[in-house]
Chain A
């Protein structure tokens, strides 16, 4: 199958590679890419010759996150609170998103994110839902949603890095580099940029070599076992809550307070690039 926004490559030694391929947009995720990623993973899922899937980005960055140029109706871009849509549309969209992330999180094959450059918002989610994530030390992680007034759709923040750091990152929208991300537990490890490919290949190979001990079937067994344990500890409920609250953050109709940064208005007025600069300016001035 051919994909519009990604490249699905199958290598020897049981490793498949999904490359996000919108380098001119720093691999911003749009609705098509979301569908492509899912379709590619579904294609690989049925292929018992593939045991490991590596996800990486083409060009300068892994992914800068959701494509902010999009307008409603889009699953990726949270709608402008001033637009009037039906509740069913909103909830269906929220559920599609949540199911998308959970699908990757619960993917029955071993997934490795290979991260360089920017890894923000949804890009960061994509790294977080992979089972292993290896990044270059100078990669940038974060979720600046709050600066435009939205909450994170992803409950894994608290699970991975603990409540203190989750609050810090999500309430200020600040970024951390790969080294710090590895220290916090957001990713598995950070390596110098020139060793990145080598380390990912090693991780994939190690997994492939290790798996025959229990056979290919042991993989899915391990996955189901792990997932159940996390669900017992409440992760399934957390996904549900995060979805609901994310919908609430989009739907609250109070609108914008005077002087409040309105991303949708700014995008209209200044264009996307300057709107983002405007969004980040006061935070940057304070060193965040």
Chain B
């Protein structure tokens, strides 16, 4: 049993790391000039830049390093006058499996372990930075296309939702595991819910809210994404869209994009982000019932894999497939 002092020491350590990450390194972390990317691959071909999320062994789960590399890559593309379109895709079997829940405690990307007792001030700052990352993608002045295959879960959905266009493989899997889409503020805000994607209260919006996981094909049908194609034609289809968008000069595109994004703001995008801070903070204070899955406790007792197993038993309903 850790003493109060031990816990306090942990907190101080975490706090120091946290301040250091954010205040001293944050800017440096996203600087793209002369940067050696570790977690992404940045390729440029004519007017099209491609950013591959490159942690295939973790299904491209997002940790701080990957986020920073991704934003630095976007920054590089944004500043490069030759580039008109940025394609974001995943190396390996999947697009992105969401937050890397095995990240060390100092990382901001996954939910922070409540045992560190971050203050409300810390928390809001941290949430603001996290949401800022999505807003940076939304406000990238170049056209952004997400090329989705395999899993696109949780924060991965947030990334694709922040892109202008999403093309997915028909068998790609979109979903949030064990979270309601509404409480996942970013997903609710960005692309996968709310009036920003569908006119408010539409049946399509409702339909999506109650489906735990949907295929690329269904997502296209629901207008959650723009198009779904067979997996082997994905690359080709994305190239077609990228070429079309690359016909529009940078200056013109930036204004057109601003026009749509301003409508998003008016309909409450900024407020949705703020709402997200609160909801996420509230989640930290949740008291779990005995039959519910507690990430931190289960991870401590059974390890991350154990947690994922337990969660899937609780969170994923068994769907009967009548077609078989």
Contact A163 B226 (CB under 8 A): no
Instruction: Check if A170 is an interface residue, CB within 8 A of chain B.
Output: yes
Note all chain B residues with C-beta closer than 8 A to A254.
Answer: 251
Task: Give the CA-CA distance A250 to B108 in the complex, in Å.
Answer: 43
Q: Is A283 an interface residue (CB 8 A)?
A: yes
- The reply to whether A234 and B267 contact each other, CB–CB distance below 8 Å, is yes
Which of B30-38, B87-95, B191-199, B306-314 lies at the interface with chain A? Answer: B191-199
Contact B164 A171 (CB under 8 A): yes
Q: A146-B256, A162-B196, A249-B256 given as contacts; is B263 within 8 A of A241 (CB)? A: yes
Cross-chain contact A288 with B244 (CB below 8 angstroms):
yes
Say if the beta carbon of B255 comes within 8 Å of chain A: yes
Output the least CB separation between A104 and chain B (Å).
19
Q: Which residues of B contact A19 (CB under 8 A)?
A: none
> A72 interface residue, CB < 8 Å from B?
no
Within 8 A of B (CB), among A251-287: 252, 254, 256-257, 260-261, 282-283, 286-287
Give the interface SS of chain B, mostly helix, strand, loop or mixed: helix
Q: Residue on B with the closest CB to A282?
A: B247
Contacts of A161 in B (CB 8 A): 199, 223
Contact of B253 among A171, A233, A256 (CB under 8 A): A171
Answer yes or no: A39 CB below 8 A from chain B CBs. Answer: no
A267 to chain B, nearest CB (A): 17
Cβ contact within 8 Å between A149 and B249:
yes
Q: Is the CB of A163 within 8 A of B264?
A: yes
Given known pairs A146-B248, A162-B198, the reply for A168 and B267 (CB within 8 Å) is no
Q: How far is the CA of A158 from the CA of B164 in the complex (A)?
A: 13
Partner pick for A166 among B241, B253, B260, B262, CB 8 A cutoff: B260
Q: Among residues 142 to 171 in chain A, which have CB atoms less than 8 Å away from a CB atom of chain B? A: 146-147, 149-152, 155, 157-168, 170-171
A254 to B252, CA, bound (A): 10
Check A164–B266 contact: CB distance below 8 A: no
CA distance A184 to B221 in the complex (A): 10
User: Does the CB pair A252–B247 fall under 8 Å?
Assistant: no
Q: Which residues of A contact B200 (CB under 8 A)?
A: 233
Main SS at interface, chain A: helix
Residue of A nearest to B220 (CB): A164
| Residue contact A238 to B248, C-beta cutoff 8 Å | no
Q: Are A164 and B256 in contact (CB under 8 A)?
A: no
- Asked if B240 CB lies within 8 Å of chain A CBs, one says yes
Q: Are B223 and A249 in contact (CB under 8 A)?
A: no
Q: Is B224 an interface residue (CB 8 A)?
A: yes
A242 lies within 8 A of chain B by Cβ: yes
Q: Could you say which residues of chain A place their CB within 8 Å of the CB of B257? A: 171
Interface size class of chain A, counting residues whose CB lies under 8 Å from the partner chain: 35 or more
A218 at the interface (CB under 8 A from B): no
Q: Complex formed: what's the CA distance from A135 to B49 in Å?
A: 40
Are A158 and B264 in contact (CB-based, < 8 A)?
A: yes
Is A164 in contact with B199, judged by CB distance below 8 angstroms? no
A149 & B252 in contact (Cβ 8 Å cutoff): yes
Contact A167 to B260, CB < 8 A, known contacts A149-B252, A283-B244: yes
Contact of A151 with B256 at beta-carbon distance under 8 Å, contacts A158-B263, A254-B251, A286-B243 already known: yes
Are B255 and A248 closer than 8 Å at their CB atoms? yes
In the complex, what distance in Å separates the CA atom of A245 from the CA atom of B268? 19
A185 within 8 A of B: yes
Given the complex of chains A and B, what is the CA–CA distance between A168 and B191 in angstroms? 14
- Expressed in whole angstroms, the minimum distance between the Cβ of A187 and any Cβ of chain B is 13
Asked if B153 lies at the interface with its beta carbon under 8 angstroms from chain A, I say: no
Shortest Cβ gap from B264 to chain A (Å): 6
* B259 with A151: CB separation less than 8 A: yes
Taking Cβ atoms with an 8 Å cutoff, the residues of B that contact A are 143, 164-166, 191, 195-200, 202, 223-226, 240-241, 243-245, 247-253, 255-260, 262-264, 266-268
12 contacts between A and B (CB under 8 A): A151-B259, A152-B259, A159-B267, A163-B197, A163-B263, A168-B165, A171-B253, A233-B195, A249-B256, A249-B259, A257-B249, A257-B250
